[in-house]
């Protein structure tokens, strides 16, 4: 936890946007892997770390897709309308 706190302090001081959740989970994974080995971690996708780690890539990708669909829908239905009020 101390390492995570120092990391967050330095990142905030340098105005670098970081996620506290990612820092804590990454710190716990790192300390556990170095201290006892990765075999004691639950890497299951449904109830373990694989689901958490994959969500770090899946969530932004799905958000981008939703944003593009929303933008294009708005652009072509409202902004492209001949009746612009």
Which residue is it, tokens 């996708």? Answer: 45
**82 has pLDDT over 80:** no
pLDDT in tens, 20-59: 888 888 888 888 888 998 888 888 988 888 988 898 899 9
pLDDT of residue 85: 56
**7 has pLDDT over 80:** yes
pLDDT of residue 70: 96
CA 2 to mean position of chain CA atoms: 22
Same domain, 27 and 49: no
What is the domain range of residue 63?
44-85
Same domain, 83 and 50: yes
Same domain, 48 and 37: no
Q: Count the domains in the chain.
A: 2
Same domain, 52 and 35: no
Same domain, 15 and 33: yes
**Residues 29 and 40 sit within 8 Å (Cβ to Cβ):** no
């Amino acid at each position: 936890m101390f390492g995570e706190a120092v990391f967050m302090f330095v990142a905030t001081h340098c105005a670098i946007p970081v996620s506290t959740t990612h820092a804590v989970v990454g710190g716990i994974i790192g300390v556990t892997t170095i201290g006892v080995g990765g075999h004691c971690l639950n890497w299951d996708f449904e109830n373990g770390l694989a689901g958490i780690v994959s969500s770090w890539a899946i969530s932004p990708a799905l958000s981008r897709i939703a944003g593009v669909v929303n933008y294009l829908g708005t652009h072509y239905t409202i902004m492209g309308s001949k009746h612009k009020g």
